[in-house]
Amino acid sequence: MPYGLYSLSLSYMKNQNKSKCKKYDGPTIGERQNDAGDAGGQKKSSFRAKEKFSTPTSHEMINLREIQNLYSSNLFRLQIEELLDNVRIKEKYKNKFNDWYLKLNNNINLMEKLKPTNVCIIGAYSIGTTIGPSATIDIKMEIPSEFISKNDDEYTKQHTAYLNYVASIIHDDIVSEKSLTGDSSCPKLMLTPTGTLSKYIKVLVHFVSSVDSIKIDEANNLSIEMLKNYPSIIDGIKLLKIWLYQRQPRNLTSTFNGHCLTMFMIYLLKKNKINRYMSSNQVIRNFWINLSMSDWSNNGISLANSDEIKHKIIFYHQFDDCVFIDSTGNHNIAQSLTKMNYEWIKNQAKLAIECLDNNVINNFHVLFMTPVKFYINYDHLLIIDGKNQSQLDDIISTLKKGFNNRIDEIFIMPKQVANNESMENMQNKIYIGIRLNPYTSLNIIERGPTANDPEAIEFKNFWGDKSELRRFQDGDVCEVVCWEKAKTLADRRMICQKITAYLLKNKFNISKNEFTYIGNESDEFLMLKKMKIKHFSNGTGEEAALQVINVFSELQNELLSLTNLPLSIKSVDGTSGALRYTDVFPPLATIYKTKFKYAPAIDAVINLSSSNKWPKEIEAFRKTKIGFYIEISNCLRREYNLKTKVLTNGIIVFKCGFIFRLVIAEDKEIVLLKQINNNGVIEYKNNDESIEMEKKLFHLPKLCSALHALHLQKSSFGPTCCLVKRWLSAHLIDDFYIPEIVVELIVAYVYLSPQPYEPVHMPQAGFMRCLEFFSSHQWKTEPIIVNLNNQITNEEIITIQNHFATLNREESLPYLFISTPYDHLSSMWTINSPNKMILQRVSLLAKETLKLVDIQFNEGIKFNWRPMFKSPTNDYDVLIHLKDEFNSKRYQSFDLDDDSVDEETWHPYKQHTEEEIPLVEFDPVECYLKELRTAYGDIALFFHDKYGGSMIGVLIKPFAMVEKKFQISNVNYRKLYDNDKLILNLPAIIEDFTIIGRDLVDDVKLQTKLY
């Protein structure tokens, strides 16, 4: 189309814009229709629809909600029944245990001296609440009175001595292993039966004084006997134990254990909070509600009903953190439960209730099937040597005072002692979890009391030389502590580490070498190793992204202010990851010179005001858009003196050292792309080009805005996305296999649905949660509903889930289904990728990564992420090694620690009269990859680390190695073998890899013998 023709078209549109424009009423974006109806037909259809489907009444809505709740309840009940069936101890093992127990009794009865007064089964097994398939059964042995002296100081020694005496009597043909476990003040004997029973049952023997236990046993046994007649409550206890053991180890003395759980259930039964007619899921809901609302640390409870019980509760509060008195009124069931652990279990109960009410997640899986890992649950971890156990309470109180309102929780991980661990070394490491407050943890200044306040002296004494006086804008002169070196957000996220190091050193003389602080070890993968940035602090990318956003905001205002255009600009929306803080390496403002090899662009979409004068043919439409690009470019040059360049598909704008690529979005172009002339009848059908344009120009800007808003609410979201992308790419899975927007939506889902955890505030913790999600998520059977800004209603969620369940049975959905507020049912971002093989590969990699993290955590050392970011290459059939000098992104690689790589200096942007727009996003490696995938994508898969990787891994598809008959359709990529057979011509293909790559390829290596 000649310039005069589209110039005339622009002039005409400009004149028409002055008058009232008629809105285009043809098929619009998002419609999935084959035939275009006229306006009258549409109105008629709408009128008939209103006649046929009237507004539902309130009674009908109530019935619908009841049906939906009934469906959810029935599904939950079926899952519970299946779970209970799986944890039930099989009858054959019960019979074997009964026989074993008789042998043990016979062995004990053979004792000539100091025979136990009584031996009996107690606890969960006696009432049927034992959890299998690997169960622990409790047995009580009463120490004879003649063995116990009246001196309390000798009781522990006598208790341990009698335990060892009984253990020596038990024959080896009955027990295969004997070990001590539990608290050193009252150890227990763990027995492992011989034979096949050892795989499924262990026996924990409790030794008690026969004099003291009689009254308590009789009273509590009467209470426990009540439960045997209530099967739904028995099932509820089993479910709650499963829930509890997913959150903490079994058989811990200082935590809320199974015995405490059972007794609290009896308490609720006595108080009529639960009853025998409730189902098991109603029982557990009421249990969680009452536990979350309880206050045992201030207002204890009791199973006894005597008049003196209130006074006894007050009495016990003087000695114990928590008070829950049994039926006798003389024993505190929660005696060993610390206040910290009690508050933690209360919070877990509160989270469980929220989880039950969450329709987006698989609440059954989250509550009962997902273990809560300590190092994933907290933002920061502090590991102290066990020799400081005696100072632990003081350390915790001092840290709480120092952190002040920077944290929401600090929690000591309960220690589970291995059965073969000596009693002296029960606490060799102390693990402390810290959850940050997202609003105050990043503050550089800790503001104390005013100088004339009496508390100022205490503040100054606490902080010592770190405290100083400062005058604030409101005129107050206050004591403050300032952490001045925290320049970037990455630094500010670790202020709590600096506080910890200072307090431990100055208050307890614990140096940095004597403790381990974990929180930001993975940040190194978001930093440029061999890039020295002048006069700009760039931590993990947030500062660079903010600079991009500020300059883009200026460009937006400049574009919106342009007046000399045929159609005014209505809005300018960003689509690049840098504009939502999810770009691994956001562009840095600089003067681009010839030595810089890669110049990234920031994409944005321009929306023009409406007009019905656009051409009705696709080619004329596109040439008219080019005319708009020219006009916008001229206006920017003339009015704002910006460097611009017009392309056939957009405008390149150079502003303040950044390169912006602008594209016009007009919904009529989508309609024209869908348009098909079928024998004179105009039809509208989707095609690959229309779908791709619709995604990039209309849906992506909405997602970009929503994800940017999510990062503003949760400041670690962006860096977490970057870490996940970096990790995937490090394992040679680039955005060809998993698009970047899909990764961001998955991370957004993890942030918006954090159950069973609390919301996360650190990138490393968020990254580990994403790894756990990758390792455990059932891609094919569970949809991912990303409810950004809570725009999806409960009714819409149910519709999405029903749609997924229906089409999933027909296998007509992608393997990964993601629903967003802007795309409920089609999962447009995952239609083409990722596929089943890639997702299984990601799940396997995530599992192996978490195994390494778990090992390092148990060893109490700082996380070393290097092994987790290195992908094994021996699985690939062919390796293509690239030359570094032609790898334009080589500076982004994290594997640049050797001295052979020179450090580059990145100078900040300063306006220059001779500055020119560089070659935008020229990446020879990416071009080479595209050519390889186009030419050989039918027979091979190509894997590459897009962030500076120097190698391409090639995996030959298995079917390509199969011998085929000599036919014209089978000749491609093959050579003749054995007269009438064709095999893959791998040597020629490898040679082609080198020829296509030319100077880019350094070496091509065949790793496996394929035939």
Residue-averaged pLDDT of the chain: 85
Give the residue carrying structure tokens 């503001």. 447
Q: Could you tell me which residues are beta bridge partners of residue 142? A: 208
At 236-246, the pLDDT tens digits run: 999 999 999 99
Whether 204 contacts 181, CB under 8 Å: yes
Phi/psi region, residue 416 (left: phi>0; alpha: psi -120 to 50; beta: rest), is beta
Distance (Å, whole) CA 835 – CA 119: 60
Distance (Å, whole) CA 1011 – CA 438: 58
Closest by CA to 654, choosing from 670, 675, 640, is 640
Distance (Å, whole) CA 203 – CA 999: 70
Q: Which two tokens stand for residue 888?
A: 């334009």
Neighbours of 422 (CB within 10 A): 10
For 702-724, what is the mean pLDDT?
Answer: 96
Q: What is the chain's Cα-based Rg?
A: 35
Distance (Å, whole) CA 264 – CA 302: 9
Establish whether the linkage from the previous residue to 872 is cis, with ω within 30° of 0: no
Whether 754 contacts 710, CB under 8 Å: no
Please provide the size of the chain in residues: 1011
The confidence score (pLDDT) of residue 77 equals 80
Whether 804 contacts 736, CB under 8 Å: no
Closest by CA to 21, choosing from 667, 612, 666, is 612
The boundaries of every CATH 3.30.70.3030 domain in the chain are: 872-1006
For 743-753, what is the mean pLDDT?
Answer: 96
At 183-240, the pLDDT tens digits run: 667 788 889 999 888 888 999 998 887 655 545 555 556 566 677 778 889 999 999 9
At 330-339, the pLDDT tens digits run: 889 898 889 9
Closest by CA to 330, choosing from 212, 187, 159, is 212
Closest by CA to 647, choosing from 633, 658, 636, 666, is 633
Judge residue 644's burial from the number of C-beta atoms within 10 Å of its C-beta, 0-12 exposed, 13-18 middle, 19 or more buried. buried
Give the residue carrying structure tokens 């004591």. 479
The confidence score (pLDDT) of residue 548 equals 95
Distance (Å, whole) CA 956 – CA 650: 38
Whether 530 contacts 504, CB under 8 Å: no
**CATH number listed for the domain at residues 374-444+483-519:** 3.30.70.3020
- The residues, ordered by sequence, that sit 6+ positions from 452 with a Cβ below 8 Å of its Cβ are none
- The residues, ordered by sequence, that sit 6+ positions from 502 with a Cβ below 8 Å of its Cβ are 402, 466
Residue 20 predicted with pLDDT over 50 = no
Between the alpha carbon of residue 144 and those of residues 116, 160, 857, the distances in Å are 6, 14, 44
Distance (Å, whole) CA 63 – CA 371: 37
Q: Which two tokens stand for residue 395?
A: 């350390």
Establish whether the linkage from the previous residue to 193 is cis, with ω within 30° of 0: no
Structure letter (DSSP) for residue 366: I
- 35-39, 52-56, 590-594, 851-855: which has the minimum mean pLDDT? 35-39
pTM: 0.88
Give the residue carrying structure tokens 């470019």. 633
Percentage helix, strand, coil for the chain under 3-state DSSP, each rounded to 5? 50, 15, 35
Residue 78 predicted with pLDDT over 50 = yes
Distance (Å, whole) CA 904 – CA 530: 6
Which amino acid is residue 981, in one-letter code? K
Whether 650 contacts 2, CB under 8 Å: no
The boundaries of every CATH 3.30.70.3020 domain in the chain are: 374-444+483-519
**CATH number listed for the domain at residues 872-1006:** 3.30.70.3030
Q: Which two tokens stand for residue 265?
A: 């259930």
The confidence score (pLDDT) of residue 901 equals 66
Residue 372 predicted with pLDDT over 70 = yes
The confidence score (pLDDT) of residue 841 equals 95
Q: How crowded is the C-beta side of 402, counted as CA atoms within 13 Å?
A: 28
Distance (Å, whole) CA 586 – CA 547: 9
Structure letter (DSSP) for residue 902: P
At 962-993, the pLDDT tens digits run: 888 888 878 888 888 777 888 888 889 999 99
Judge residue 899's burial from the number of C-beta atoms within 10 Å of its C-beta, 0-12 exposed, 13-18 middle, 19 or more buried. exposed
What are the DSSP E strand ranges found in 367-420? 380-385, 407-412
Give the residue carrying structure tokens 């039966």. 193
Residue with the larger pLDDT of the pair 723 and 414: 723
The confidence score (pLDDT) of residue 29 equals 39
Neighbours of 591 (CB within 10 A): 16
Three-state secondary-structure class, residue 810: coil
Establish whether the linkage from the previous residue to 834 is cis, with ω within 30° of 0: yes
**Four-residue CA torsion sign, 204, 209, 211, 212:** negative
Whether 519 contacts 561, CB under 8 Å: no
Q: Where are the alpha helices (DSSP H) in 860-920?
A: none
